[in-house]
Amino acid sequence: MKRLADQPFALLGVNSDEDRKMLQAVIKEENITWRSWWDGGLGGPIATRWQISTYPTIWVLDARGVIRYVGAGKGNVDFATMESTIEGLLKDLAPTER
């Protein structure tokens, strides 16, 4: 988040942990600084609407809301591909020099 602080980029989180107080401790411990919602546990309204059954699930959306990357399941999120996707989208948004 620090590296992308001056970029047109947002990171949002949805947490399905059952224990909200324990989640708050993890957020503090892991220094999670981005906006994050608690979904009320597994099968909460957000997870249900987006049909999430594997955790973590990560989506990268472009400026128009088109999904450009999906990673689901512990060990199945390809962070290098996710980061290169984000970098490419930010490059596409950058003004072109003439």
pTM, full prediction: 0.71
Q: Which domain holds residue 15?
A: 1-53
pLDDT of residue 98: 52
For residues 10 and 49, membership in a common domain is answered with yes
Residue 38's DSSP bridge partners are 15
Pairing of strands 67-72, 57-61: antiparallel
For residues 33 and 63, membership in a common domain is answered with no
Residue 94 pLDDT more than 70?
yes
Q: To which H or E segment does residue 61 belong?
A: strand 57-61
Q: How many CB atoms lie within 10 A of CB 66?
A: 9
Residues 27, 78: Cα–Cα separation, whole Å: 22
Give the list of residues 6+ apart from residue 2 with CB closer than 8 angstroms, or none.
none
What would the mean pLDDT of 16-20 be, rounded to a whole number?
89
For residues 46 and 74, membership in a common domain is answered with no
